[in-house]
Amino acid sequence: MARLRDGYAEFKARNAEVLAVGPDSLERFTNYWEENGLPFPGLPDPTKQVSKVYKQEINLFKLGRMPLNAIVDRQGFIRYIHYGYSMSDIPDNETLLQVIEELNASSD
């Protein structure tokens, strides 16, 4: 399964942006981004404000925040959301790209 990092060019080709939100401080988040060469922007969320808005589950028995993938359209409406039940429960890039293509087609 391709990671978001590996498929980033495919998202950009569809006029979409990837934004990762994580629980770490700005310093830890910045260091992680630099160490891993991530091509998309990241948003530190140490106070959990973003995770609360999107109702992201935090489960300490499963290593913290459960994965959450959302596609938000240009008007700010959530058009797709996936709540993961484990750290490995993440939709593949093909699924996300298909939703984006359908949204792009319907907005033409």
- Domain ranges within the chain, ordered by starting residue: 8-106
Tens-digit pLDDT string for the chain (108 aa)? 568 888 999 999 998 888 888 888 899 989 988 998 889 888 888 888 888 887 777 766 656 777 788 888 888 888 888 888 877 788 899 999 999 999 888 876
User: What pLDDT does residue 31 have?
Assistant: 92
pTM listed for this prediction: 0.78
User: What pLDDT does residue 2 have?
Assistant: 61
DSSP letter at 36 equals: H
User: What pLDDT does residue 1 have?
Assistant: 52
User: What pLDDT does residue 81 have?
Assistant: 85
What CATH code would you report for 8-106? 3.40.30.10
Give pLDDT tens digits for 93-104.
Answer: 999 999 999 988
User: What pLDDT does residue 9 have?
Assistant: 92
